[in-house]
Amino acid sequence: MPSYIKLPAYEIIKRIKAQELMAEDYIASLYERIKKVEKDIRAYITLTEDLALKKAREIDKKVKKREKTGRLCGVGIAIKDNICTRGIRTTCASHMLENFVPPYDATVISRIKDEDGVIMGKANMDEFAMGSSTEFSYFGPTHNPWDLERVPGGSSGGSAAAVASGMATLALGSDTGGSIRCPASFCSVVGLKPTYGLVSRFGLIAYANSLEQIGPITKDVRDCALLLSCIASHDPLDNTSVDRPQEDYTKYLIDDIDGMKLGVVKEFFGEGTQDYVEKGVLEAVTNLEELGTDHQEISLKNLQYALPSYYIIAMSEASSNLARYDGLRYGYRIPNKSYDWSTVYSKDRRFGFGFEVKRRIILGTFALSAGYYEEYYLKAQKIRTLIKRDFDIAFKKFDVLIGPTMPILPFKIGEKVQDPLEMYMCDVDSVPANLAGIPSISIPCGFSKGLPIGLQIMAPPFREDLLLRVAFSFQKNFPVSAKLRSYE
């Protein structure tokens, strides 16, 4: 039984379709696993066991009757709790939305249901996706399966921890400034942030609309390609979704990168990058060279301004996006005798939001204020344009760019909570891809002191094929193996 929890999705799907494995048994085994380890890891906010088992039985019936089944036939998926699920509460890990049950599915959820995926539950995250450690959750922090005293990364920490610990076979996360790649790196799984506009954002509760994308968090690169193929499609409900033909990304899983040109981004190895991380990533570069690639260092000058620009844009958008949470139409409302709406709003928002969310709302409000807008928001947008240009130029010379996903190894829970700037610094290598709107993947590339290291690969817009090809070749030839203590 426990062997199912280690299997990648494509293996599970193959067996269910071949009637070698009952979807119901497999899903039940995942919940058994949850019962065993969830108390230590805390990856989920809401579990949907009854719904999942019901869905699994339906799929078993379909398979038995030889009806057409979807590409995710029976596979158990954890959904980050900022992605709306019809009839299942979607909290954004916030007191504000603790009891919010959306009457609609996000487009990606509809796609997953169409493909016969099974929703395991809603995964923990930093409140409103604001954080890099999943410590800022109203429901408490998630623990890293590789070391329970450490953070799983964030903000999609629950999704990554669930996949890493076998409590889900696949997961969806969202990435505004690294929120898929950071926990993928910290939990030694694969996480991909698609090109901006590739995956519909309809139903994703917005943190910073112009930066974020939903993407897969998986055990390996093949699963990543599979899940991406299912969720990437044009959506008329999302005006920023790009109208392009649907693709089957699994066809890019080719073990051949001979002659490919890799740019090693100099700025990703700057001050603040831990030696262990640098060593691990450079080793991966050497490995890729063995596969016939050619690498060179490249400097993207404007990346030094990426982090402040990112935070100004993200917080500005957030200050406006989160204005709707006033307790009036839905969400948290504290009993109030005041008839004055501004007092009612203030009280609801004071108690409904956590500390980090309030910090970002206040900073974003400031950045958009008259007299400061030009100094902060507009300047940040200009830098964003310059960074895009830097990438454009780099991609004329290189097929893909590489570097570490995170400058540091997973840190201890509580270590950085008191120092927001130190926490923000963790995102230094992940935010450039969001500012430029380009696709970026994090894959496991080794361990140091028993803790995972992630390799980040970036490609030009809509060249997810290149990312997957490089990632697949690396994974195939240099598999990262380590024993997860909690598996035993």
Partner 1 sequence: MSKIKSVEIKIGLEVHCQLTNLKTKLFCSCSSDYREKEPNTLICPICMGMPGTLPVLNEKALEDAIMVAIALNSKISERMLFFRKNYFYPDMPKNFQISQYDKAGGVPLALGGYIQINGKRVRIRRIQLEEDPGKLSYEGTIESSTYTLVDYNRAGISLIEIVTEPDMETPKEARLFLEKLRSILEHLGVSNGSLEGSMRCDANISLRGGKRVEVKNISSFKEVERALNFEITRQKNLIERGIAVGQETRHWDEVRRITISLRTKEEEQDYRYFPEPDLVPVIISKDQIKKIEQSMPELPDERRKRFVEQYHLSPQTAEILTRSKAMADFFEESAKLYDKPREISNWLTGEFLSYLHDKGIEIDELTLSPKHLVDMLKLIDEGIISRKMARSVLQDMLLTGKMPDAIVKEKGLEKILDREYVRKIVEKIFKENPQAVKDAIVDKKAINYLMGQLMKATEGKIDPKMAGEVIRERLSKLSKFATS
Catalytic (active-site) positions:
80, 155, 179
First to last CA, the chain: 13
Residue 106 interacts with partner 1 (CB under 8 A): yes or no:
yes
- The answer to whether residue 351 forms part of the interface with partner 1 (CB under 8 A) is no
For residue 486, give both structure tokens.
Answer: 């909690």
Give kind and range of the element (H or E) at residue 60: helix 49-64
Work out the number of other CB atoms within 10 angstroms of the CB of residue 360.
Answer: 25
Q: Which residues make Cβ contacts (< 8 Å) with residue 282, sequence separation at least 6?
A: none
Q: Tell how far CA 399 is from the center of its chain.
A: 24
Q: Is 1 in the site for partner 1 (CB under 8 A)?
A: no
State yes or no: residue 236 binds partner 1 (CB under 8 A): yes
Which residue of 50, 68, 103, 335 would you call a contact of partner 1, by CB under 8 A? 103
**Which is nearer to partner 1, 82 or 273 (by Cβ)?**
82
Cβ neighbours of 259 (radius 10 Å): 10
CB-based contact 189:219 (threshold 8 Å): yes
Contact 121, 159 (CB under 8 A): no
CB-nearer residue toward partner 1: 164 or 206 = 206
Question: Rounded to the nearest whole angstrom, what is the least distance from the CB of residue 55 to partner 1 in the complex?
Answer: 22
CA dist 207 to 68, 296, 311, 320, Å? 37, 36, 12, 9
**Which of 69, 287, 365, 486 is the binder for partner 1 (CB under 8 A)?**
365
Number of residues that bind partner 1 (CB under 8 A): 47
Distance from C-alpha of 143 to C-alpha of 151, rounded to nearest angstrom: 5
CB of 147 to partner 1, least distance (A): 34
Which residue among 341, 389, 393, 477 contacts partner 1 (CB under 8 A)? 341
Position 287, amino acid:
N
Q: Which of residues 69-98 bind partner 1 (CB under 8 A)?
A: 82-84, 90, 92, 97
Per DSSP, 334 falls in state -
If the CB atoms of residues 239 and 418 are measured against partner 1, the closer one turns out to be 239
Q: Which of 53, 69, 89, 104 binds partner 1 (CB under 8 A)?
A: 104
Q: Which stretch binds partner 1 (CB under 8 A): 162-170, 369-377, 386-394, 422-430?
A: 369-377
Cα angle 43, 447, 276 (rounded to 5 degrees) comes to 115
**Which residues within the stretch 187-216 sit at the binding site for partner 1 (CB under 8 A)?**
201-206, 208-210
Nearer CB in complex with partner 1: 60/235: 235
Give the nearer residue to partner 1 in terms of CB position, either 158 or 407: 158
Coil, strand or helix at 274: coil
Query: Which bin fits 64, alpha (ψ -120 to 50), beta or left (φ > 0)?
Result: alpha
Q: If phi over 0 gives left and psi between -120 and 50 gives alpha, with beta otherwise, what is residue 259? A: left
For residues 270-329, which are near partner 1 according to CB under 8 A? Answer: 316-317, 319-320, 323-324, 326, 328-329
Residues 138-167 that bind partner 1 (CB under 8 A): none
- Rule CB under 8 A: which of 37-56 touch partner 1? none
Taking the complex as a whole, how short is the minimal distance between the CB of residue 137 and partner 1, in angstroms? 17
The site for partner 1 (CB under 8 A) is made up of 82-84, 90, 92, 97, 100, 102-104, 106, 201-206, 208-210, 236-240, 316-317, 319-320, 323-324, 326, 328-330, 339, 341-342, 345, 365, 368-370, 373-374, 377-378
